[in-house]
Amino acid sequence: MSIDYAEIMETKSGRGEHLKLELVVLESPDGANQNRRVFQYHMIRHDNEATQRIGREYIEELARAIGLS
């Protein structure tokens, strides 16, 4: 997968900010999913601490996976 687009946006509720990611599948075993787009949203800031923690944990994992730890 490759990150094709990323943007930090305020949530519609106004309760926080999230990272919007658009990913592209570069390869798949049978080729059926190649070039398919996957959309993800991960919380950066939120008034619910658990929601914020989960979002930030994913972003930290992503940073480690691409060598930004």
9-56 pLDDT, tens digit per residue, is 999 999 999 999 999 999 989 989 999 999 999 999 999 999 999 999
Spell out the domain ranges in the chain. Answer: 2-65
Instruction: Detail the DSSP E strand segments found in 1-69.
Output: 2-10, 16-24, 37-46
Write down how long the chain is. Answer: 69
Task: Name residue 46's amino acid.
Answer: H
What is the structure's pLDDT at 64? 94
Q: Given pLDDT bands bounded at 50, 70 and 90, which one contains residue 66?
A: confident
